[in-house]
Amino acid sequence: MLTKARAFAVQAHGDQKYGDRPYSFHLDMVANNLAAYGEQAQVIGYLHDVVEDTSVTKDKIEEEFGSLVAECVGLLTDEPGANRKERKAKTYEKLSRVSGQSELALVVKVADRLANVTACVADGKRSLWEVYLSEQAAFKKAAYRAGLCDQLWADLESQLQEGALDRRV
């Protein structure tokens, strides 16, 4: 299932880029962050952006990967809005109501954010890093559940500490 999800996502994203890299770079980072959380988390990790960034529908995800995966991908898809602030506020509101099995989406969301922030640090993208830093309190309020994925949260917060960009290797 993991190989299928990766191939499906890479094909769906086509020529999209993640900065200067192929989009698969980001997808692999997210899936790697999710290795300790099981194959289903990694499947969702590979698929997390396909509804938001491609023509693939949530129904197609359900047909190919099942209802829980489709539900989680739907939860991870940004809500519409006039700008990033509005989209994120609506999306965080949606995430704040997640419970039960669907909390797997929250694990994937943290792994995704960690991949994004880690890339910002590695590439020295201070302005984007600052956007993530400014959103962290609202993001954590919406997505944090004690004991769910504490190590991912710790790693994310480490990457968001002042000086993280200065410690680049």
Range of the domain at 150: 2-167
Counting the structural domains of the chain, the total is 1
**b (16+ CB within 10 A) / e for 63-95:** eebeebbbbbbbbbbbeeeeeeeeebbebbebb
What pLDDT is attached to residue 165? Answer: 66
What pLDDT is attached to residue 111? Answer: 98
Tell me the CATH number at 131. Answer: 1.10.3210.10
Determine the residue type at 164: A
Q: pLDDT 10s per residue in the chain (169 long)? A: 999 999 999 999 999 999 899 999 999 999 999 999 999 999 999 999 999 999 999 999 999 999 999 999 999 999 999 999 999 999 999 999 999 999 999 999 999 999 999 999 888 898 999 999 999 999 999 999 999 999 999 999 999 986 666 665 4
What pLDDT is attached to residue 96? Answer: 96
Residue by residue, what is the 3-state secondary structure of 92-139?
Answer: HHHHHCCCHHHHHHHHHHHHHHHHHHHHHHHHCCHHHHHHHHHHHHHH
Q: Which two tokens stand for residue 13?
A: 């994203």
Contact 88, 135 (CB under 8 A): yes
- Helices 150-159 and 126-143 cross at an angle (nearest 10°) of 150
What pLDDT is attached to residue 169? Answer: 45
